Structure 1
Amino acid sequence: MPFVRIDASRADGARLDALGRAVHEALRETLGIPPDDRFQVLTGHGGGNSELRQDSYLGPDRDDGVVYIAITMRSGRTVAQKQALYRRIAELAHAHADTEPRNIFVTLTENGSADWSFGHGRAQYVDAPGR
């Protein structure tokens, strides 16, 4: 936990790896996520079969370097922690993947402990609530 999906325009393997590292580092720094708690789906778009679309809603003038980051995690973080996470993701995506902060679009979805299964058909957070 958390589960991260990154969809990036014009992204090869190296850029996707850099974006994944940026998000994981930001989660660790701002929310205290453990180092081995990495569950990510990284997808590059551009070409004939997949595209990302965006407009300029709420201000940022994004370009074709847009990156969509969807994070699902258990609830319980403060608004200030979430704001720090968004800032740090933008900073690290710029530093690691040369992605303009204006092109970073983040959405965060929260859920409960019973909403996770890490394998074996079990709800590990429910079965072992101290984790």
Structure 2
Amino acid sequence: MPLIHIAMRAGKPETYRQAIFDTLYRAMRETFNVPEDDQFMTITEHEAANFRYSPTYLGVARSDDVVFIQISANNTRSLEQKKALFARIAQLLGESPGLRPEDVFVNIVEVAKENWSFGHGLAQYA
């Protein structure tokens, strides 16, 4: 059950933002063993003065279209699954909404299964 937070500069149309949601869900279904209908995502938009990134860190030429994607997920995926997810996200976001691979910044935060409550005050995975 990944929980995804996306941060980006303000100004993109709703269709662009929805394409990001759709693409991330597809990439997770294809590479990360995410069940059908497991979609918990937010997008936070920031004005330029409130959004900072390095345009060249580690030799990656980023633009103002850079998108930060943080995925909180159970600590059950292999290194191969993580690499496949990163590659698939970059590929699919290139197709829709048209993000350059250099502008796709992804971070996975792994948590123990008992650290989730999906409602009713219960720890469903514990």
Give the TM-score taking structure 2 as reference length.
0.92
- CA drift at 1:43: 2.0
In structure 2, the partner of 1:38 is 39
Tell me which amino acid in the other structure corresponds to 1:54. Answer: Y
With over 3 angstroms needed to count, the CA separation of the structure-2 counterparts of 1:45 and 1:14, relative to structure 1, is farther
Tell me which amino acid in the other structure corresponds to 1:104. Answer: V
In structure 2, the partner of 1:69 is 69
SS class of match (2:36): coil
- CA drift at 1:19: 0.6
How far apart are the structure 2 equivalents of 1:94 and 1:59?
19
1:39-118 aligned at under 5 Å gives the runs 39-46=40-47, 51-55=50-54, 56-118=56-118
Q: Which runs of 5+ in 2 are unaligned?
A: none
- CA drift at 1:32: 1.8
- CA drift at 1:11: 2.5
Per-residue CA deviations over 1:7-48 (Å, capped at 9, x if unaligned) read: 12242321111111111110000012112100001122336x
- CA drift at 1:51: 3.2
Q: Which runs of 5+ in 1 are unaligned?
A: 127-131
How far apart are the structure 1 equivalents of 2:14 and 2:27?
20
Give the TM-score taking structure 1 as reference length.
0.89
SS class of match (1:22): helix
- CA drift at 1:114: 1.1
